[in-house]
Structure 1
Amino acid sequence: MSIETSEPTGDTRSRAAIKNALGEQARALGFQTMRITRPDTIQKAGDRLLTFLADGRHGTMEWMEANADRRRDPRQLWSEARSVVMLAMSYAPETDPMEALARPLEGIVSAYAKRADYHDVMKVKLKQLATDLERETGDPVKVFVDTAPLMEKPLAQAAGIGWQGKHTNLVSRDDGSWLFLGAILTATELDPDPPERDHCGRCSRCLDACPTKAFPAPYQLDARRCIAYLTIEHKGHIAEEFRAPIGNRIFGCDDCLAVCPWNKFARSAHETRLHVRAELDNPPLADLLPLDDSAFRARFRGTPVKRTGRDRFVRNCLIAAGNSADRALLPFVAPLLSDPSALVRAMAVWAFRRLADPDAIGTARAEHYGCEQDEAVKKEWDAGTTT
């Protein structure tokens, strides 16, 4: 498939023809939407980013701070950029992701991560689209899928795909909250689309649904309190105040997305490689807790889950186990009290103390505490009975 126009490539009509052909090809490749904006349209978003960073709300995501100037303006990323082609692909789930909260022996995986890694799926299609655009215009292009310092959500709003809702995620009147975003930067001047305006109105469902109160105010996020950040990005021990609210979410959180009323218009993902994989569809915690590094890598190869690494993932599963109130998980938790990873041991202690009876806790403490070298793990043993 290629972009073909019968008009010369210099005037306004030819730009319109190229844009129309590009949109048709994008839809044929499985994208829900294609819109275009200029690279100089997100200055206010860049200013908000600096405030977000200055307040420390990015937590341990140092990479955001390191590339702040480049994030604020796509032209800092590539000075030749004249137009930004924004594309969206749906990953709308077929069922309500929050239903699994009632099944505490299952580990909830965020809807976006229950399938092949979207970076890989989208990049192939974006490269195909970009190659044809470059061939048609003779101008260079660059492709991005959430792997470079580019502010996709503000650009998508500027291009008219949707708006950033009160939960700071993109919302579309046509596709709800469930959209993967990709971008093509081109040196070609293409006609921009009008931006989308905010349609949240007085609704605050997303803010009210957050289990950890991660929204200090509408349109503001404190990532340090966000379950998605805590279970995916945060590399250290998760503070106790967040453990019970995490529930059985072991990779990400969809609550603020799932409650958005605009999701009634969302269409289920139809790209074959984005279909849900059975082994990722909220698997039993009993299957996940015993995973060593090689088993973890084998099970989650080619999926977003793999990026957390085994230790962080099992840490999350132990928090879910501790929240389950089901002693049937004790035989899977107890061996992790002596795991090589202190990150895992600490959460194993926390989960064990929530599930075991006092005598078993005392016996386990006597066995493990004396040889424990990590202060965080000792702190968990010293914490006493948790609630």
Structure 2
Amino acid sequence: MDYPFGDGTSLALEPEYAEARATCPVVRVRLPFGGEAWLVTRHADVREVLTDPRFSSRETTRNPDGPRFTPQPLFPAGVMSMDPPEHTRIRSLVSKAFTGARVQALRPRITEIAEGLADAMLEHGPPADLVTMFALPLPVTVICELLGVPYADHGRFRELSDALLSTTALPPEEIFAAVKELNLYLAGLIEARRAAPRDDMLSGLIRARDQEDRLSEQELVEFSVGLLVTGHETAATQIANFTYMLARNPGQLAALRADPALIPNAVEELLRHTPLGAVSGIPRVATEDVELSGVTIKAGDSVVPSINSANHDEAVFDNPHDLDVTRESNPHIAFGHGVHFCLGAQLARAELQIAVHTLLTRFPALRISADDAALHWKKGLLIRGFSSLSVTW
């Protein structure tokens, strides 16, 4: 069976996942590059893969010809390709910046940015591209301020970020060149901060490197690249995706407009319901034989834990294919699970909650301008979402 199942130009989860959960929850699939892997589809099994140390992230880097979704090994993989204790060492350097208390302190600034973008959209008038005018600049501005990256450079690093996430959008040589340029860009910023430190995350990482010897120069660059890319990509994509999903579910949208206190709950449901990945898991490698749902995974086999499928598991979620902003039991794993649980999950939640609240309150009649056949999708990337999304009000 070839995987992924679709081309990522839909927010409806492909039916093959439900079929696999029901009939063959651990199924052998052919990845686009490098051969075969085990696709894990049930919630309990996916959580086990994400937490069991016998499934290694580091081992995926040992074999450059191993199964993967990109023409080149995902580089720089950084902390995502590490296992404890190396993973714990690197992650601890910035974890304090993303605690609940720290993110709570950032909420007024995030709200200020969102309100300013809404003002600009209203001044522009309908129709407007939600992606370029709101969904993208909100998290980009936040991560630039946190990390210490000039916002004026966002056009440059946005293109490079898309290249890093490319599966088929670009030829391999262009992906490699873009990744190299992104690394050189961050290396240049690091040198500038060494000469003139500031009160930002990049300066803190430099201190950890130069004064405390807690990471290597290569780790410093790769970790900074990872923070920049993941620090805006998920939230930017999902702000537009969530807007689309609510517009296509008018009953749920009406419930939120009637009771904005439901927004935090709605964001959790949208995270569960809306698949972000065109593929739905980062491969891992079994370091010894492991049994999942009656299937023996041999040492050395690659495994893809499908978060998208787990979040639609009928054994865990009632009516999983329905969007229900009042859903009470919602143990989704949209941000992952275990040691690789998304470092910026609390920040992403705050950005998404504030974005939804701002759009609902500032644009009471917001709607999608085009029908589904005319939507503009990102194509050939690891994530699924809109390259542009025309809205009116």
TM-score category by the smaller chain? under 0.3
- Structure ID, larger Rg: 1
TM-score normalised over the length of structure 2: 0.22
TM-score normalised over the length of structure 1: 0.22
